[in-house]
Structure 1
Amino acid sequence: MGLIARLQERVLGIAPWDASQISDEWFRAHFEYAAEVVNQWIGGVMDIPRSRFLNFGCGDGITDLSLVLRYGATSIHGVDVRREYEKLPRIAREQLGMRRVPTALSFQTIKSGDSLSQGSAQYDGIMSWSTFEHVRRDQLSLILEDLHACLRPGGYFFIQIEPLYFSAYGSHLRRYDETPWHHLLATEDELWKVIEAHQGPIDPAEVDFGFADFGVEGYKRFVFNEYKALNRLTADELVAFAKSAGFNVAREERRSLDISPPDSLLAQYPRDWLTNNEIFLLLRKG
């Protein structure tokens, strides 16, 4: 944020906002639900208004905005390989009637595998929402070690992943395909044909603000390429990678969908891989 924006906010305060204006379901899910979950996990062990945070994989920055407006965060730096956060001023204006984004937020575009620690601990807390399933597997250790170096001693790192790859909708393609575990049952070509043939509307909660950049058919190809790039991380592997990077597990919760895997998949994969849909993981730097 520029000096003028900081001076303006110092004099006038954070721009007024009105959550009753929210009309977009993707915005609502990230402004309300995601921010509430982060607050429940981080707010119980940290003083959010007095802490400096890093959001690894910040996306469009909606959750960060909510943490500032609803929970008093005063410093969040979001990083991502895409530049969706550049849409945040427009999104905040359209969904909340905000004239300007709070100066507590800053954002940065990074390349996959970029070091963020710069040789010193900079943050009191780190968060990551549905990001680590997209990190290249051969970079997981280095990235977690770098994030460990970013964190001050005693700091916390909250990670959420949903859906996990081997779960019923772990392909991240449910907006186009409602068949559970289809990505484990069909060939890649068969799966693409289902996506390509999809007609009609998509669940509004699954349509992000990047949809318009691609168009209907382009977005299909984009999300399918994202599916093919998934690292297929399991919850156990995530915990193991985190511990190897030097983190201690402070709290963990795994959630499952109420749906039974087919026998053919149970013969190939452990049941907990197939049923574990989501993980919440709170890590601490000793």
Structure 2
Amino acid sequence: MNGNWLHSLQERLWGVAPWDASKISDEWFRAHFEYAADVVNHWIGGVLDVRSARFLNFGCGDGITDLSLVLRYGATSIHGVDIRREYTKLPRIAREQLGMRRIPSALTFESITPGAPLAGQRALVDGIMSWSTFEHVQRDQLAPIFADLHACLRPGGYFFIQIEPLFYSPFGSHLRRYDDVPWHHLLASEEALWQVIKNHQGPIDAAEVDFGFADFGVDGYKEFVFKEYRSLNRLTADELVDLTTQAGFHVVRQERRNVEMEIPSALRGRYPDELLLNNEIFLLLSK
């Protein structure tokens, strides 16, 4: 998108366009520019030189985390792919939130068709990252996608995956911006859940309002997030590990974060406690 020769020349002559984090006013931007980027760097920066490695971001979204990795951690090559085109908003977002005149040439983005192979399209990468993406992928596409990403990674490369919230956790529906009843998606019918969302009034948590909200409007966004809920693949942490190792990856390190909440009596015995309390997984893989 912005990795053209003119921008590269400008950066060689004058450096990356100036930016100012004190201008940040949007909480969604702040969370992805600061927290998400810090986590990714902590996990993958410990095994790769971020300043020289070539990265692929699978499910890059709006590209805010990628931008932060370039500006704050010195990444020099990140190619983001996604089935949506939210990354096209990044130049405007960076201008509004950081005062940047142009996006760094280290960033390139691409729209992909769900399930379309990536291997062989570009040079092998040193690292792959994915932030809260794989819970949205159709189940029958998971194994082929992991096999394809394995083929995209050079031998000795690393793959970092984060998922939060996992489906069976208290707010695994991804509907918490409208419904704050823990495990409600496991206790209520879809019709009842939709009525809660539909009847919600007032503002929602600013950290949960992404830059696509304005594209839908208040009612349209409710419909969008509920459709996303219905399409969740219900992937568990154990299944994620199994699928990635079956694709040929080796587990280097993993961390599972659980919530400390009382499990409703109606759910006890229906699901293992660990499944209900496991909210997040960080997984570092190697090839």
Q: TM-score range by the shorter chain?
A: over 0.9
2:26 partner letter = D
Q: C-alpha displacement at 1:257, in angstroms?
A: 1.4
CA contact (8 A) 1:121 1:149 kept: no
1:268 partner letter = R
Show the counterpart of 1:50: 52
Question: Is 1:258 matched with 2:273?
Answer: no
Pairing 1:138-153 to 2, within 5 Å after superposition: 138-153=140-155
Q: Report the 3-state secondary structure (helix = DSSP H, G, I; strand = E; otherwise coil) of the residue aligned with 1:264.
A: coil
d(CA) in 2 for partners of 1:60 and 1:76?
Answer: 13
Question: Is 1:76 matched with 2:78?
Answer: yes
CA contact (8 A) 1:260 1:275 kept: no
d(CA) in 1 for partners of 2:154 and 2:266?
Answer: 47
Q: Which moved more, 1:56-65 or 1:265-274?
A: 265-274
Gaps of 5+ in 2: none
Question: Is 1:87 matched with 2:69?
Answer: no
1:252 partner letter = Q
Show the counterpart of 1:237: 239
Q: Report the 3-state secondary structure (helix = DSSP H, G, I; strand = E; otherwise coil) of the residue aligned with 2:102.
A: coil
Show the counterpart of 2:278: 276
Question: Is 1:36 matched with 2:48?
Answer: no
Match for residue 132 of structure 1 among 129, 134, 149: 134
2:139 partner letter = R
Q: Report the 3-state secondary structure (helix = DSSP H, G, I; strand = E; otherwise coil) of the residue aligned with 1:167.
A: coil
Q: Provide the identity percentage.
A: 72
Q: CA RMSD in A?
A: 0.9
Gaps of 5+ in 1: none
2:206 partner letter = P
C-alpha offsets along residues 57-83 of structure 1, whole Å, 9 cap, x if unaligned?
Answer: 000000000000000000000000000
After TM superposition, the score normalised by the length of structure 1 is 0.98
Match for residue 14 of structure 1 among 9, 13, 16: 16
d(CA) in 2 for partners of 1:162 and 1:26?
Answer: 15
C-alpha offsets along residues 247-282 of structure 1, whole Å, 9 cap, x if unaligned?
Answer: 000000000111121122122111111000000000
Q: C-alpha displacement at 1:284, in angstroms?
A: 0.4
C-alpha offsets along residues 3-36 of structure 1, whole Å, 9 cap, x if unaligned?
Answer: 2222222211100000010000000000000000
2:9 partner letter = L
Show the counterpart of 1:113: 115
Q: C-alpha displacement at 1:121, in angstroms?
A: 5.9
Pairing 1:223-234 to 2, within 5 Å after superposition: 223-234=225-236
Q: Which moved more, 1:4-13 or 1:33-42?
A: 4-13
CA contact (8 A) 1:133 1:231 kept: yes
Q: C-alpha displacement at 1:42, in angstroms?
A: 0.5
C-alpha offsets along residues 130-157 of structure 1, whole Å, 9 cap, x if unaligned?
Answer: 0000011000000000000000001000
Q: Report the 3-state secondary structure (helix = DSSP H, G, I; strand = E; otherwise coil) of the residue aligned with 2:161.
A: strand
Q: C-alpha displacement at 1:118, in angstroms?
A: 1.4
d(CA) in 1 for partners of 2:250 and 2:8?
Answer: 37
Show the counterpart of 1:166: 168
Number of aligned residue pairs: 285
CA contact (8 A) 1:121 1:151 kept: no
CA contact (8 A) 1:5 1:103 kept: yes
Q: Report the 3-state secondary structure (helix = DSSP H, G, I; strand = E; otherwise coil) of the residue aligned with 1:20.
A: helix
d(CA) in 1 for partners of 2:231 and 2:57?
Answer: 21
1:18 partner letter = D
Post-superposition, which runs of at least 4 consecutive aligned residues in structure 1 deviate over 3 A? none
CA contact (8 A) 1:76 1:106 kept: yes
d(CA) in 2 for partners of 1:218 and 1:186?
Answer: 22
CA contact (8 A) 1:23 1:95 kept: yes
Show the counterpart of 1:216: 218
1:276 partner letter = N
Show the counterpart of 2:159: 157
1:235 partner letter = A
Show the counterpart of 2:189: 187
CA contact (8 A) 1:243 1:249 kept: yes
d(CA) in 2 for partners of 1:118 and 1:246?
Answer: 18
1:33 partner letter = Y
